[in-house]
Structure formats: structure tokens, C-alpha cells
Structure 1
Amino acid sequence: MPIVPLHGHDALRARLAEARDRGALPQSLLLHGESGVGKQRLALWLAQSILCEGDTRPCASCRQCRYSLELSHPDLIWAFPRPKLKDSDPSLDDIKFDLGQAAQDRAKAGGLYPPPPGSDGIFVATTRLLVQMASVTPAMARRKVIVVGEADRMAPPLENAEAPAANAFLKLLEEPPADTNIILTSSAPGALLPTIRSRVVAIRVAPLGEDAMRAWLEEPLVKETLDKAHLPGRIDERLRLAGGAPGRLLASQQSSAAANAARRLLEVALSGDRARLLRVSLAQGSSGARGAFTDILDALTVELHERSRTAVESADERTARNAARAVSVVEESKVLAAGNVSPQLITASLLRDLSRVLAPP
């Protein structure tokens, strides 16, 4: 079954297509923007257009396009955060099989999927696979495309033995084979390793406009999926919840626990109660900054965006401005959470800064 068509991003798509047709499309790209705005779907569209053999690319009807839309094209490699395999040193075949199964699961859902848990990652064994696949001659098309979704979840090498694989991937980004395009996506480009950022051309992906969002919401499979998630039935309400990011609706049910935790953090920050701040910070645990804590920070960003929109609607300029500043504070915490920083320390600093930024006059 083909995945749901891409809606919106028309101006950006035109720019990318024009660069592709001129032979000026950078081989290593980074698509970055807010979570849920469709960066990976746009990357898959671009990959399809590169592999397409029709006159108007992507034509959606040639063999290359059909396989791309079914996420089964052998020259389209899509990597994204996955659970770490139980084997401490998995084979490349094991990694390839795991990614292939996960991609087919997403294909069966029409490309509509919730964000992966915060404990998932793109581990060094996966980078080894990508480097190997980049060296292989295309199987069907004239080129091959590697898409790495949520590249900020790439784990740095933890041991000296892993360094060669990580360095090989950096070399791949810097000088891809002549027949290979690499497209990274990220909602937190600041969390990417500097050595990665310096090797790609960054392009910002904006939220969808209302017309594009309405068109996406009218897709039969989208309506069915959102109905099953028990989201509000009215399109206007779904538009408001999405805020230009379709992925927010797909994440709604899975992230309910994270949303509740984010609301509690916001409540504590607004209270200004230092004792509560300390208690909540300690409750985050000390098991490293990955996992559910990352999901809570994402949910907190959504809560603050909603606070800002509500304030704008009620002409409360000061609250809207402070909520926007608070989003920047959370984004800084996400950068810390991408490293080996204790959630306790991050939460304590975050709540202190949010309390200051959101404090009433």
C-alpha cells in the first residue's frame, strides 16, 4: 500500500526540484524544523523524485515511484531511531532486517506513525550499515538515497572500537559516492554533533499552512487513523491541535503520559515554589537523559506553544511573548538531554529558568 501523499511545502519542493534538475542539489542535506511538520515525509518525497525515471519527477506512476511509495525500493534506505538490539554486537544483516521490518510496519500504516520512544536511537551499528550500503552499486535506479530521520538521535561512539565506524560516516557525509544522496532530518539541529552539522547543507522546513493541513486531514486513511485515536472529530479542532504539524496529532495518544508530566512541570514552574521545584527535579531520576524524559520535553514544547496561541487569541501580548521565550529555554534543555546529563540537573535548571521567564508582572 502506498503511503499517504505529501501535502504542503510547495515553495520548498519547487526549490529542491529546480536544484535537482540543474544538477545543483547538494548530496548531503539536513532538513530541520519543528517536530511533526513532515520533514521525513518531505525527505522521502525528495528521495522518490531523485529515483524517479518519469518525465515529470516524481511522476508517482513509474516503477521507481511505485516502489518508493511502498517503502520497498532497494535503493532507498531509510534509517530512524530504533530500540537497541539485544545482541551487544549485532551483525549488519540483523540491523538491515530490523530497519526493513520497521519501515514495512510504517508502510502498512500508510506512513502514519507516532514518534519513537525517547529510549530509541540510531546506534553506531546502524551507521556501519549506512556506510556499507552507500558503497554498493544501485540495484534498480541510477542512484541511491539514504534518509536518516531524527539524526539528532545518533549516538556518539562510546568506545574507541566504535570510533572508526563513526568517522567513516562523517567521511561519507563529506564525500558521498557520486551515485548517492544523503538526507538527514532533525527537530533539534543544535543537538547534532558539530562534525555532522559542518558536513551538510541545512534547509529549514516550516509548519504547514491551513490549506495543506486541511487537505492532509481529508485523506481517508488520516481520518480513519485519527478517529481510532479518539481525537476530536471536527477538522477545525484538529487544525488547532496540530498547529501546522501533522505529527502532533499522530503522537497524541502515545504521548498522553508525557503531556501530563509536562503540565505538572509547567504548573510547578508557574508556582515559583522552590521546595516543589526541588522535589519534582529529584523525581526525574538519575538514569541518564534519554528515554521518557525526552518525550516530556517535547510535550512541554507543545504545551508552551498552546499557551502562546491562547494568549494571542485573548490579546495578552506579554504572556504570548514569555511563552515563546520559554520554548527557547526548553530547546536548550533538549540539547543537554541529548548528551549524558542527569535529568535531575536538567529539570532543576529548566524549572528555575521557566519560573523566571513565565513569572507574572
Structure 2
Amino acid sequence: MACHRARSRRHRLCPRLLRRVRRRGGALPRRGNGRLQDRCVRQGRQRDPGPAIHPHVARSRDRVRHRGPGSRRPFLDGGGRPSGHAPGRGTPGRLHQRFAGTGRPDQVTPGAGRPEPPRFRGHEALRASLRRSLARRTLPATVLIHGMPGCGKQSLALWLARTRLCSGADKPCGRCDSCRRALRLEHPDIHWHFPLPRPKRTSGPAKLAAALEDARFEKLAEFRKNPLRAEGDTEVKGIYLAAVLTIRDHAHRRPAVGEEQVFIIGDAEYLVPQEASPEAANALLKLLEEPPDGSRFILTSGTPGSLLDTIRSRALPIHLPPLPVEEVAAFLREECGADPEAAIRAAKLSQGSIGAALGYLEPDGDQSRQRTRALDLLRAATGGRRADAYTAAAAFPPGGGRGLLGLMGALQLWIRDLGAAGLGRDDQVVNVDELPFLRDTARRLALTPDRIARAVGQVEEASMLARGNVNPQLFMGTLLLDLEEILEPA
């Protein structure tokens, strides 16, 4: 009896199997060799020890559970969702390679059957230069891709990561296993991080890190389903210290399948959501100063001036210019099936940004609503009646300053068009449907290039403040009064 108990604990058999063995009086089967033991694995009563022990038993990804070696923490399910598990060994970033597909590492086919995202377009000269640098091994370990919002910085970062890890001759070949995984955002050596809302009801750094990883994987799943979905600034987001510590933990490990691993930190300016809390940026700085062997970093930013000087000095800057209007319109027609006239209009409004053009395609989309609201703000600031400015500011909610960043960008574009119309450069006006209003306002206010530049600078300064916790009513009221003072005739 004692012998059977010891063996049952060692083999972790279910009670039903133990009773059968006792009745038959036989020896306990060794793991992987007995029919009873294999039946337990098939019926899901015992944790599957792996394909090396049971090569003939196919594993279901939804039923496989994994626990890090030597860990007493709760299980991780096969879908990559942690349950109370702090970042460490066996974290979800490695689960695709271990548990997807049939269970054999040489036959892992994550995301099979899922349509691939649209291919990266434009910037052929820049991509050719990056290919040459990779071939010569002269590209630094850390690069900073910067450009206007929506111009393709994240897409270029993913393309560069795919090129680094490609095993084909013509990189990126798009045919090797590494490229196929990377295209589906399931490569275990490509870690894509981006700003996220701070999870609620989390106590302690470990739970916060696990909650952020949960939210990141959910966001990646949404992007896989709809990669052309336009993103809006509807929530206060940030790249928090817990996320940077997770990046640091993964960076000091060996790559899962190749010789290198790539960490993409999108919108890196969110490392400092407020000037008084640069802990995340400082933690990343220590990692960039001494990058571990085999770890490469790609940062993207729409406002690189917001980053710490020490971070910018440790990264190779790569400027990504806006795309020509014709290329943006072609993308909207071919990938989104947009009407040619609507595609041209959205491409012109986007100023070479595919991300912004996707929002302008929808009449009720975030970009269209922000454009209309920014025009109302410009009318209030140039109408000559201070009451209009107060009324426009009172239309905002008293709390929760969300969506102000996109609104500031749309307002800057309207002020730019106002200056172009005042100088008689109608060919440079983007919002051509409001050209009569822009001409009349510029003529009435006798605008000069100096005042237009000051107004644009005022909005840009306000955009930096909008990243923090501001009261939208007070914020917009102050901004409109400042613009009225700048734009009114001397």
C-alpha cells in the first residue's frame, strides 16, 4: 500500500487509474509506455508531459497547461493568458512556440489559415539602406524611428524586425517560417510593446505587470483580426514602469528560436506620461546603455523631443517622411476597397499618413469628428467674441481629458490652412471644402506668417500638456483665449 502511494505521488496518477492497477495487481506503467497512462493523457486528467515523452499523442492547444520550471504559481493556459502569474519563466510570450500546432516544435504553425495583414508600402530607398546596413552588420542595436503620426513608423519597425530575423536569402523573404510568424504577429522573438491604459484594481508590481501583459495580448489579438482599424486617443495611456521591467526581464533571456530577439517600443514618448514621473524612461535607459547580447531595440515616436535626451543619444535616429498622396490613395483603394473619390479626399486630408486616412474614410470616424470639432474651435477663436470661446470650452466634459491629442493635431492643420489661404497659396490648403471661410478670416484678421507660426507653436505646447491629467474645460478655455490674443489684429 505504501509503495503504491509513493508511486502514485511520483507519477501523479488519478484515483480511478490507481484503483484499476490495485485490482489487477500489476506494476504501475512508466510514463509514456502504458495504455492506461496514455488514456489519462488523452482524456485530459493529467498534465501532458510533452511531445518528447508522448510523440504519438496530439495535444490540444486549448487544453494544454504549463507551469514554469520550479514554479508554484498558478498555471498558464495554452491560449497565452496568464492567471495570477508574474512575468518570469514560462510567460505567454513563449507559449506560441511551445504549445501551438501539433505539439512538435518542428511543426509549429501558429495562426494557420488567418489572413495576413497588408504589406508595408512605400519608403523603398530607406528600406534598401536598412537592408544594406543589416547585411554589413553596421546597424546599431538601438534605433529610433520618428515621423508624423500615422506615417508608418510601427509598420517599418515590424518590417525591420522581420528583416533581422529572416532566414531566407532575400530578406525579408516572406516565405520562411520566421517571416510567416512575424507577419501574423506570433513570432516568439519579436516583442511589440505600446501605450496601454493603466489597469484598475491591481495591487503590487507583479499583478500590475501581469495585468499589462494581459491587456497587451488582447490588443495584439484585436490587431490580428482587424489590422486596418483606425486608432483613436480615447483613453489616457502610458508605458509604465512595470512594462519596462517586463521588457528588461525578457531581454536578459536567450532568444526562443533564433540568434536575436527584437523589442519594439511604439510611441516611446509615452514612457514619460507626466514630467514628474520619468521612472519608466530611466529604467529603459539602463537597458539601452548595456543591451544584452542578442537583444535589439526599435523605438518609434511622433514627438521625439518628448523623450529624454539620454535616450535619444543612445539610438540611431531614422526619420520617416510622409507618403505621397497618390500612394496613400492607392493603399485605400486596394486594401480597403474605398471609392476612388473618397480615397483621394482622405489621402489629401491625411497629409501622407495612412493611419489618419483610415479615419477620414468613415464619415463618423474619430478623425472626421475631430476635424469638425477643431473647425468649431477655430471659429470660436477668430470670431471676435470672447463669449464664443467660453461656450466652446464649456462643451467639453469637466474631467477625463481624453481625445485631446488628436484634436490638437486637427486644430494645427486648420491654423496652417488659414496661413496658406492668407498668403494666397490655395494649392497648399488641405481642407479645401472650407476655403471661402479660410480666405475671409485671413483677410479680416490681416494675418502674417509670424502670427500663424506663434499660433501653431501655442497649440503644440498645449499638446504636450494634454498628455497629462488636465481639466478639458479649463484647458480649452485657456487655449482659445491665447489663440484669440495671438490671431486678433494689432
Question: TM tier, shorter chain?
Answer: 0.7 to 0.9
SS in 2 for 1:31: strand
Give unmatched runs, 5+ long, in structure 2: 1-114, 429-438
How has the CA–CA distance of structure 1 residues 338 and 114 changed in structure 2, closer, same or farther, with 3 Å as cutoff? closer
Aligned-pair CA distance for 1:215: 3.5
How has the CA–CA distance of structure 1 residues 250 and 13 changed in structure 2, closer, same or farther, with 3 Å as cutoff? same
Mapped pair 1:123 → 2:240: yes
How has the CA–CA distance of structure 1 residues 61 and 291 changed in structure 2, closer, same or farther, with 3 Å as cutoff? same
Q: Find the counterpart in structure 2 of residue 266 from structure 1.
A: 378
Q: Find the counterpart in structure 2 of residue 238 from structure 1.
A: 346
Q: 1:300 aligns with which of 400, 406, 411?
A: 411
Aligned-pair CA distance for 1:8: 0.8
Q: 1:187 aligns with which of 291, 302, 306?
A: 302
Mapped pair 1:30 → 2:159: no
How has the CA–CA distance of structure 1 residues 64 and 314 changed in structure 2, closer, same or farther, with 3 Å as cutoff? closer
Tell me if structure 2 keeps the 8 A contact 1:118–1:295. no
Residues 311-341 of structure 1 show CA distances to partners (whole Å, capped at 9, x for unaligned) of 6326879979565664443222212223455
SS in 2 for 1:30: strand
Mapped pair 1:107 → 2:221: no
Determine the C-alpha separation between the residues in 2 that align with 1:324 and 1:187. 20
Tell me if structure 2 keeps the 8 A contact 1:309–1:320. no
How has the CA–CA distance of structure 1 residues 199 and 275 changed in structure 2, closer, same or farther, with 3 Å as cutoff? farther
- One-letter amino acid of the counterpart of residue 298, structure 1: G
Q: Find the counterpart in structure 2 of residue 354 from structure 1.
A: 483
Aligned-pair CA distance for 1:48: 0.8
- One-letter amino acid of the counterpart of residue 103, structure 1: L
Aligned-pair CA distance for 1:352: 4.1
SS in 2 for 1:244: coil
* 1:1-361 equivalences in 2 (<5 Å): 1-89=115-203, 90-155=207-272, 163=279, 166-220=281-335, 222-223=336-337, 233-252=341-360, 253-278=365-390, 280-281=392-393, 284=396, 287=399, 290-304=401-415, 307=418, 312-313=425-426, 321=449, 326-339=455-468, 343=472, 346-355=475-484, 358-359=487-488
How has the CA–CA distance of structure 1 residues 51 and 307 changed in structure 2, closer, same or farther, with 3 Å as cutoff? farther
Aligned-pair CA distance for 1:64: 0.8
Determine the C-alpha separation between the residues in 2 that align with 1:199 and 1:346. 35
Segment of structure 1 superposing worse, 146-155 or 340-349: 340-349
Q: Using CA pairs under 8 Å that are at least 6 residues apart, name the structure with larger relative contact order, 1 or 2.
A: 1
SS in 2 for 1:26: coil
- One-letter amino acid of the counterpart of residue 143, structure 2: L
Q: Percent identity?
A: 35
CA RMSD of aligned residues (A): 3.2
How has the CA–CA distance of structure 1 residues 206 and 58 changed in structure 2, closer, same or farther, with 3 Å as cutoff? same
Determine the C-alpha separation between the residues in 2 that align with 1:159 and 1:356. 30
Residues 69-97 of structure 1 show CA distances to partners (whole Å, capped at 9, x for unaligned) of 10111111111122221233434333223
Residues 181-233 of structure 1 show CA distances to partners (whole Å, capped at 9, x for unaligned) of 1111111222234443333222221100234324422333x22xx57xxxx85
Give unmatched runs, 5+ long, in structure 1: none
Aligned-pair CA distance for 1:154: 2.3
- One-letter amino acid of the counterpart of residue 179, structure 1: G
TM-score, normalisation: structure 1: 0.83
Aligned-pair CA distance for 1:17: 1.9
SS in 1 for 2:171: coil
TM-score, normalisation: structure 2: 0.63
Aligned-pair CA distance for 1:180: 1.4
Determine the C-alpha separation between the residues in 1 that align with 2:223 and 2:416. 28
Segment of structure 1 superposing worse, 351-360 or 143-152: 351-360
Max radius of gyration: which structure?
2
Q: Aligned pairs, how many?
A: 351
